[in-house]
Structure 1
């Protein structure tokens, strides 16, 4: 029998801009907590942001911290299964989404494979990732990175009523 894998703290960005985006993000947070060997340990608030390098409706975004015993590629596969279950299609790059889940950080790991790059290669340039991440893990968000994205439109939503 293999030895139990040590738990790893990872961070996942969530976003949606099709259908009931707020409900999709909140539902994905709950679904992540049901992934095998994975527990959501912190949730940011919800944010509204304009699409970056794309068109379409505004996104609802958030970040969660998870404690997982899954290897990074298995966690990525679980995230992609949740996207598919939410009706995610990929007709073209940066297409609007019913649900988008990105693995931002996986412990201290540096991964550069054809399927997965960690830390996420574009996270430091996106306010919709950095502000929610700073809410739950400020040690991972340098002040200069936040300052660099300060001009990106981002609105914190009231989690109770979506406004």
Structure 2
């Protein structure tokens, strides 16, 4: 799962997301990556993101998980306007037990996972040798294909503690 914030107290919003996941019925938070400072992708903003990736186990269906994540985002000030813009909290299902499907609201794996260094870098930290369920390449291999300038723009901030 991808977690990001570029409004307000970004670190606090990322911590709150992890706490909310820990408390979500049917979800077990296993581990999470370091926190990274990343430029916005897909829209123009001078506000950089704090991003990380978390590994969870869940008994929820992908749809139930998605709707639960939307509730967490809303509870943390996220406003969905239909356009990509700055946000207090952004939660994305990146992978779901190797599932593959595509719909208007949810694609598994996340349709742009392999194109985003800000996702691949923390994903490699957690699951370096795991393979993308469609591309059949490890996340390390996918990251190696990203432009060096894109990877250099991402800075590690260190571990994110929940205390």
Q: TM-score scaled to structure 1, two decimals? A: 0.86
Relative to 1, partners in 2 of residues 1:21 and 1:69: Cα closer, same or farther, differing over 3 Å?
Answer: same
Higher strand share: 1
The CA distance in 2 between the partners of 1:159 and 1:108, in whole Å, is: 27
CA RMSD of aligned residues (A): 1.5
SS of the residue corresponding to residue 64 of structure 2 reads: helix
Matched with 2:149 is: 151
SS of the residue corresponding to residue 61 of structure 1 reads: strand
Following superposition of structure 1 onto structure 2, how do residues 1-163 of structure 1 map, counting pairs within 5 Å? Answer: 12-56=1-45, 57-138=47-128, 139-140=130-131, 141-149=138-146, 150-152=148-150, 153-159=153-159
Q: Give how far 1:160 is off.
A: 6.4
Relative to 1, partners in 2 of residues 1:28 and 1:160: Cα closer, same or farther, differing over 3 Å?
Answer: closer
Matched with 1:5 is: none
The CA distance in 1 between the partners of 2:14 and 2:139, in whole Å, is: 25
Q: Give how far 1:92 is off.
A: 4.7
Q: Between Structure 1 and Structure 2, how many residues are aligned?
A: 150
Alpha-carbon contact 2:35-2:160 (below 8 Å) kept = no
Q: Give how far 1:111 is off.
A: 1.9
SS of the residue corresponding to residue 24 of structure 2 reads: coil
Q: Give how far 1:124 is off.
A: 0.6
SS of the residue corresponding to residue 157 of structure 1 reads: strand
Unaligned runs of 5+ in 1: 1-11
Alpha-carbon contact 1:130-1:146 (below 8 Å) kept = yes
The CA distance in 2 between the partners of 1:135 and 1:63, in whole Å, is: 9
The CA distance in 2 between the partners of 1:109 and 1:55, in whole Å, is: 32
Q: Single out whichever of 117-126 and 87-96 deviates more from structure 2.
A: 87-96
Relative to 1, partners in 2 of residues 1:67 and 1:160: Cα closer, same or farther, differing over 3 Å?
Answer: closer
Q: Single out whichever of 143-152 and 100-109 deviates more from structure 2.
A: 143-152
